[in-house]
Chains A and B, each alone.
Chain A
Amino acid sequence: MTTLVVAEHDNASIKGATLNTVTAAAQCGGEVHVLVAGSNAAGAAQAAAQIAGVTKVLHADGVQFAHGLAENVAAQVLAVASAYSHILFPATASGKNIAPRVAAKLDVAQVSDITKIDSPDTFERPIYAGNAIATVQSSDKVKVLTVRTTGFDPAAASGGSAAVESTTAAADNGKSSFVGAEIAKNDRPELTAAKIIVSGGRALGSSDKFNEVLTPLADKLGAALGASRAAVDAGYAPNDWQVGQTGKIVAPQLYIAAGISGAIQHLAGMKDSKVIVAINKDPEAPIFSVADYGLEADLFTAVPELVKAL
């Protein structure tokens, strides 16, 4: 029984979500191999070889992998798939894009967003926006899984010494091509990996207010900024800050929700946070039902006061 982790990387280094996936892979039993499919990705392959617990890194290089197109990366995974009993992807935009393509070609069901491994064929995963936990058993020969990163601790990024083996790159599928990307520049900690998150909702009222009120608090705490769907839809914050069922799933040490009512879909993305603080002037807001500390106050006065008090 050997497990393959399909690494998410930017060709030079490995993304954090891969480390959590390696931890999950180790729990499946057997050896853990990592596939790095990229363009000039020797750096990422070297970094993968350092991850504690990894015994082999497969490195496939080709320009067709430069932007992680699902068609090409899936073809590469399928080219090496026959040696593995489990194939794991992080449940990120990239992993979710590729994994079902691999599963369908192997004619196996995929298990999405697993939060716990009970045995090599039995997994737990949240359904209905995290309002229920399903325990599912797979009867397929190969288990294709995506791993919810907040469900598993990250593996140590150093201390491993896996061999890097080059593997033949799968051909370009030719049906899709990368046109461009608009990646938000951000000096803050990455939302999904942050220890503290300051999140704002519709009550902020405008993009200017959102930044003016929440940025000093986030700066003070070294926190990442998040947002509810209402704030994103209203244009107060960029899309990729959205926390919730359809945005990012986070579980920081401290989650501060300012002016967020706490709809089911938002709670789905943050209710595994260790400590939740809610600042809201509506005493009936559902967010208070999950908050460890609730402050019933106008956020425009409470947040600046909080910054001062820290």
Chain B
Amino acid sequence: MKVLVAVKRVVDYNVKVRIKSDGSGVDIANVKMSMNPFDEIAVEEAVRLKEKGAVTEVIAVSLGVTQCQETLRTAMAIGADRAILVETTEELQPLAVAKLLKALVDKEQPGLVILGKQAIDDDCNQTGQMLAALADLPQATFASKVEIADGAATVTREVDGGLETLKVTLPAVVTTDLRLNEPRYVTLPNIMKAKKKTLEVLKPSDLGVDVTSRLKTLKVSEPPKRSAGIKVADVATLVSKLKTEAKVI
């Protein structure tokens, strides 16, 4: 069984982003970019399934600008066997990404597709579910445990009150939550090996997908600033401030 893993190149999670002064977006020129943390977890899970023998091939997929090749090389250094880049300079929204992934699912026929639960830039949390809908596959979102047996995946999900376990028939779409696994560090020999692995480059038009944006971003602004707080000297002052000044207790 093949596994398809979708990875996104995003602003590194440690970077404090700045808003462009004209309000047209976030300034991402010259900031550090990395693989979306949830996608690292997705690649790690796919590679672990391969190591357990449940999977034969791991294909990493990314969509976007040429530099996404670096993200795919990272995925291959973690252990993905080959990679596909759908290259475009257009802004891709989740619906377009889901349609492109659906075309790749039709082409590659994977038994499982693993995505991160959300990208830390747009914070959408949509693509996996949209892909499942378009490809008419069952979905198991926010996974913290995945077991494959007898043509089905048993997936434990993180839900609001605790955990929930579902069984979905394969092929299926799984999105990863933080606690699914701890991604391994890539080693230098594996980075060198990853350079020799196949990386296929396609265009959205090769897949026959229209990637036009449906949502127009009118402006991007700073969130309201909190007014500066004060430091209190001791617990007694804190309690009296909370009682008399803030009136919250």
**Restricting to A181-205, which residues have a CB under 8 Å from any CB of B?**
181-184, 186, 192, 196
- Given A112-B124, A135-B217, also A221-B249 (CB < 8 A): yes
**Which segment, of B59-67, B73-81, B192-200, B220-228, faces chain A?**
B220-228
Besides the known contacts A128-B26, A246-B177, 7 further A-B residue pairs in the complex with CB atoms under 8 A apart = A126-B123, A130-B223, A131-B16, A132-B223, A182-B162, A254-B242, A276-B226
- B154, B158, B162, B241: the one contacting A293 at CB < 8 Å is B241
In the A-B complex, the 7 residue pairs with the closest CB atoms: A100-B129, A109-B214, A104-B130, A104-B133, A175-B138, A100-B126, A179-B165
Please encode chain A, from 283 to 310, with 1 for each CB lying within 8 Å of some chain B CB and 0 for all others. Answer: 0000010111111110000100110011
**Restricting to A78-116, which residues have a CB under 8 Å from any CB of B?**
92-94, 96-105, 107-113
CA distance A74 to B187 in the complex (A): 43
Contact residues in A for B157 (Cβ distance below 8 Å): 93
CA distance A309 to B232 in the complex (A): 15
Q: Which residue of B lies closest to A78 (CB)?
A: B133
Q: Spell out A's residues near B (CB within 8 Å).
A: 67, 69-71, 74, 92-94, 96-105, 107-113, 122, 125-140, 173, 175-184, 186, 192, 196, 221, 229, 232-233, 238-240, 245-246, 248, 253-254, 264-265, 271, 274-277, 288, 290-297, 302, 305-306, 309-310
B129 close to A176 (CB less than 8 A): no
CA distance A295 to B233 in the complex (A): 7
Contact residues in A for B177 (Cβ distance below 8 Å): 246
Contact residues in A for B161 (Cβ distance below 8 Å): 181, 183-184, 186, 240
- A74, A113, A138, A175: the one contacting B133 at CB < 8 Å is A74
Contact residues in B for A111 (Cβ distance below 8 Å): 215
Contact residues in B for A103 (Cβ distance below 8 Å): 95, 126, 130
B98 interfacial by beta-carbon distance below 8 Å? yes
Closest approach, in angstroms, between the C-beta of B11 and any C-beta of chain A? 7
A93 close to B142 (CB less than 8 A): yes
Q: Spell out B's residues near A (CB within 8 Å).
A: 11, 13-14, 16-17, 19, 26, 93-95, 98, 117-118, 120-134, 137-142, 144, 154, 157-169, 172, 177-179, 213-223, 226, 229-232, 234-236, 238-239, 241-242, 246, 248-249
CA distance A129 to B161 in the complex (A): 23
B179 close to A239 (CB less than 8 A): yes
Contact residues in A for B214 (Cβ distance below 8 Å): 108-109, 138-140
- Given A138-B214, A221-B249, also A112-B123 (CB < 8 A): yes
- A101, A131, A305: the one contacting B132 at CB < 8 Å is A101
CA distance A288 to B14 in the complex (A): 18
A288 close to B139 (CB less than 8 A): no
